[in-house]
Every structure is written in C-alpha cells, then in structure tokens.
Amino acid sequence: MSKNKFLKENFGLSEAVLNIVEEAETTAAKAFRHIEDMAEINEMKVMKAFADNRLSAEYFMASSGYGSDDIGRDMLDKIYAQVFESEDALVRYNFISGTHTLSTMLFGVLRPGDTVVAITGKPYDTLEEVIGIVGKPGNGSLKDFGINYKQIDLKSDSEPDYNAINKELTENKIKAVWIQRSKGYGERKTFSAKEIGKMIKFVKEISPDTLALVDNCYGEFTDDKEPTYYGADLCGGSLIKNAGGGIAPTGGYIAGKEKYINLCAYRLSTVGIGRENGATLGINKCLYQGLFFAPHVVSQALKSAVLCAAIYEKLGFEVEPRSDDVRHDIIQRIKLGSEKAMIAFCRGIQLGSPVDAYVKPEPSDMPGYQEKVIMAAGAFNQGSSIELSADGPIKPPYTIYMQGGLTYESAKLGIIMSVQSLKDEGVI
C-alpha cells in the first residue's frame, strides 16, 4: 500500500492536503542537510565523551541515602563538561525545571549588592519573579536579597544594543550579564552560539571580571558549539527540552567554569556539602541515554519545525523562522490570524500526539495570562517540550508556537493533521 493511501484510509486525509505536504517536504529537504550535519557533529561529540571517559554499566547503578561516592553522578558531570567544552558541569534530576536550574545559577553566583544586566532584553517570563521584577516583596527574589537588576533591550533589528552595553559596563561595576539564546515566546530572533560568543567577547573586553550567564533553553545541539565554548562562564537548561533527548524524565544541567559550578552546587544542596551528596536513585542511565539521543532528537524536532514552516508558508501564513532559515532553537512561530485557526491547528497537533491523541484542546484560562491560552500536548514526560506541542495566547495576531517532535515521522503526522483540521474548518 502506498504511504498516501494508508494515510487517507487511516487518518481521513484528503488528496489536497497530502499534495501540499508532499510539495512542502521537497522544499523543506533543502534545509535538512545542515540539520543533519549538526546532529552528526554533536552525536560524535557525545560518543567521544562516552568513550574517552570509559563509560560502562557500573555508572548506571542506583545510590540511595546521602549518595556519597555516586560515581554515575560524578561521571555524568564530567561527560557533560566534555560535550559542552567547559571546565565542569552539574547535571541533576533534582532540578525540577529549566526555571529552577536558571534560578540556581543566578542565586549561585550573585551576592548582595551585585548587579546583573540582561543584555538580550526581557528574560523568560518565569524568571521575572525570580529576579523580583514582578511578584510580592519578601518572597525571596534576587531583589529581596539586595541584588540589582538592569535590562538593556534589543534594538529594533533584534541585535544587542552594544552602545548601551558599553556605557553600562564602563560606568558601573557589573557582576554578571544575562544572555538568553532562544527567543522563547518573544518576538525577536534567536541567537546562535556564535553570536552569543560575540556578545561575550564584547563584554569581557570592556569588563573582564563580569560573568557571562546564558539561558541555553531550547538551543542545545542546534549549533555545532555551545555558549560555553565561546566563553560563557555558565550556561544552563532543562532536561525535558533538548538536552534530555526525550528520555530524561526530569532535571536540568549547568555547564561552565568549575568555580562557579561549585557555587551552583552549594545553592542546589547546601553550602559546604555541594555536589558531594545527592542520591540518584537509579535515574543516571536515563540521563546518559537521554544525552545519547539528544543530538538526533533535536534534529528530528528541527526537521519537523522546517516542514511545518514550509507547509504554512505555502498556505500563505507568516511564519518565523522561514523554512530556509538556519535555526538556533526548536521553536516555530506561525501567525494563524484567528481564534478558529488556532483551535483547529492545536486539535490537529493533538491528533498526532503519542499520548492523549483522543483529547480535544480547548482555550482556557491560565495563571499569569490575561487572555485564554490554547495548548496541544500529548507527551510521555508531562510538559516536555522536546516532545511535539503547540500553544499560544488567544489574542491578535493569533500566533501559535509549535515545538518538539521526538521523531520526524510522528511529528509529521501531527503537522499533517493540523493542515487537515484547518481545511475541515474552512480556514484554508
């Protein structure tokens, strides 16, 4: 049976939709080569780190209690450090999310009276309360502890405002700059690791003692290098995004200079004990295996995003990035133009999810949002966004964000179903 006949018979897809997808896939294929190259380089890096460090089954054993001398935990740190081309790393399932990991980074190295300057504009939403830009005084934010925060917005062309950064670093004592790699859900471009390297070089030339801290969420393994290679003192991210390869059930990592990694470990556990303790309960194998899969899984998510862009471009929607852009994170933005289209899109994505495919997404109220939000997700790991998902607030211009896909084949199904769903609703 041909592929299209199977799809038509089993998923109720129309000839017209399948033709659009087939055409778009031909367009998309041109961008696949670069993505495959990045995956190969990163996979080889992981393989080499495993081999150089003589990874063997004894490192997969569970520890309990204090978890002293947990060789699996220590080895994982060493391997991450090699892959990230950094002095050291801290990889723990105990990081409950990306936000927790990044918060640990900030509290780990900043002290009362210090100033941190965000040089890529407003940080990711969930960090605002950590910093103390929003939220009640007395909650224990950085601000409560006397840590000052300043922000230098990106210029209208999405580039860092180097004049303003220069002025800030020249006139004031700045302990650290904060750089966010991915656009997240903002309307700006995503920075490549190399572009981040340029920012770090600029900062260090003016103020060598200023630390460069990088929010690396969604960016891992999209480029052939990580920000640590380009001189970031610390970078961190979530293991239920890129770096966990869809296998890690939870956790986060920080990579960077040994001195600062140790301070982060003090903050995560306690001052004095730091990384000496922390039982891993048998989870290490998943974290190793997740790292093993990560470069490939990231490539699958990237290819899925390119296919999605190619399809919706052809249908006349505004997409960012475009299908032929070189990507530095896994997020795809599509301006769908109406609430109806957003709902239809999400229902299609949901139908192509491995878990909860029967569920019908509805717009609903979300804490922290003024408008209703629609979401599609059916993941093995709850909330995992390296797995296929789509979401967006119901407000003009009705932009949906799609990301993830553990395998190109499964994500492709979700994307095809989204097109069929838009067609069934008369949007296209």
Ligand X SMILES: *Cc1c(COP(=O)(O)O)cnc(C)c1O
Q: Is 215 in the site for ligand X (CB under 6 A)?
A: yes
Q: Where on the phi/psi map is residue 329: left (φ > 0), alpha (ψ -120 to 50), or beta?
A: beta
- Among 308, 303, 302, residue whose Cα is nearest residue 345: 308
Question: Residue 214: what are its φ and ψ, rounded to 5°?
Answer: -120, 125
How big is the site for ligand X, counted in residues (CB under 6 A)? 12
Q: Identify whether the C-beta of residue 179 lies closer than 8 Å to the C-beta of residue 233.
A: no
In DSSP terms, 117 is beta-bridged to: 150, 177
State the minimum distance, in angstroms, from the CB of residue 333 to ligand X: 13
Q: Where on the phi/psi map is residue 279: left (φ > 0), alpha (ψ -120 to 50), or beta?
A: beta
Q: Is 217 in the site for ligand X (CB under 6 A)?
A: yes
> Whose Cβ is closer to ligand X: residue 199's or residue 310's?
199
Binding to ligand X (CB under 6 A) within 289-318 occurs at none
Question: Residue 4: what are its φ and ψ, rounded to 5°?
Answer: -65, -35
Q: Is 182 in the site for ligand X (CB under 6 A)?
A: yes
> Omega into 208 within 30° of 0, i.e. cis?
no
**Which range in 6-14, 80-88, 96-104, 154-162 contacts ligand X by CB under 6 A?**
96-104
Please identify which residue in the block is written with the tokens 């055409």: 23
Residue at shortest CB range from ligand X = 98
> Whose Cβ is closer to ligand X: residue 195's or residue 215's?
215
**Could you tell me which residues come within 8 angstroms of residue 193 by beta carbon, excluding any fewer than 6 positions away?**
181, 219, 223, 225, 226, 227, 229, 230, 328
> Whose Cβ is closer to ligand X: residue 332's or residue 420's?
332
State the minimum distance, in angstroms, from the CB of residue 235 to ligand X: 11
**Which range in 145-153, 197-205, 214-222, 256-264 contacts ligand X by CB under 6 A?**
214-222
**Which range in 66-74, 94-102, 135-143, 152-160 contacts ligand X by CB under 6 A?**
94-102
Q: Is 99 in the site for ligand X (CB under 6 A)?
A: yes
State the minimum distance, in angstroms, from the CB of residue 102 to ligand X: 6
Q: Candidates 42, 192, 210, 238: give the one binding ligand X (CB under 6 A).
A: 238
| Count of other CB atoms within 10 angstroms of residue 143 | 17
Chain centroid offset of residue 167 CA: 31
Sign of CA dihedral 73, 79, 84, 85: positive
Q: Identify whether the C-beta of residue 312 lies closer than 8 Å to the C-beta of residue 201.
A: no
> Whose Cβ is closer to ligand X: residue 186's or residue 414's?
186
| Count of other CB atoms within 10 angstroms of residue 395 | 14
State the minimum distance, in angstroms, from the CB of residue 428 to ligand X: 29
Residue type at position 90: L
Q: Candidates 149, 218, 260, 398: give the one binding ligand X (CB under 6 A).
A: 218
State the minimum distance, in angstroms, from the CB of residue 109 to ligand X: 17
> Whose Cβ is closer to ligand X: residue 261's or residue 331's?
331
Q: Is 184 in the site for ligand X (CB under 6 A)?
A: yes
Q: Candidates 97, 228, 284, 384: give the one binding ligand X (CB under 6 A).
A: 97
Q: How far is the C-alpha of 292 from the C-alpha of 374, rounded, in Å?
A: 33
> Whose Cβ is closer to ligand X: residue 163's or residue 382's?
382
> Whose Cβ is closer to ligand X: residue 344's or residue 386's?
386
Q: Is 180 in the site for ligand X (CB under 6 A)?
A: yes
State the minimum distance, in angstroms, from the CB of residue 78 to ligand X: 24
State the minimum distance, in angstroms, from the CB of residue 146 to ligand X: 24
State the minimum distance, in angstroms, from the CB of residue 167 to ligand X: 26
> Whose Cβ is closer to ligand X: residue 182's or residue 421's?
182
> Whose Cβ is closer to ligand X: residue 101's or residue 210's?
101
**Could you tell me which residues come within 8 angstroms of residue 387 by beta carbon, excluding any fewer than 6 positions away?**
246, 353, 354, 377, 378, 379, 380, 381, 404, 405, 406
SS3 116: strand
Q: Is 404 in the site for ligand X (CB under 6 A)?
A: no
Sign of CA dihedral 335, 338, 343, 344: negative
Q: How far is the C-alpha of 181 from the C-alpha of 215, rounded, in Å?
A: 6
State the minimum distance, in angstroms, from the CB of residue 16 to ligand X: 35
Assigned token pair, 239: 């293991």
In DSSP terms, 255 is beta-bridged to: 89, 235
> Whose Cβ is closer to ligand X: residue 32's or residue 185's?
185
State the minimum distance, in angstroms, from the CB of residue 184 to ligand X: 4
In DSSP terms, 92 is beta-bridged to: 252
> Whose Cβ is closer to ligand X: residue 75's or residue 254's?
254
**Could you tell me which residues come within 8 angstroms of residue 157 by beta carbon, excluding any fewer than 6 positions away?**
none
Q: Is 98 in the site for ligand X (CB under 6 A)?
A: yes
List of residues contacting ligand X (CB under 6 A):
97-99, 124, 126, 180, 182, 184, 215, 217-218, 238
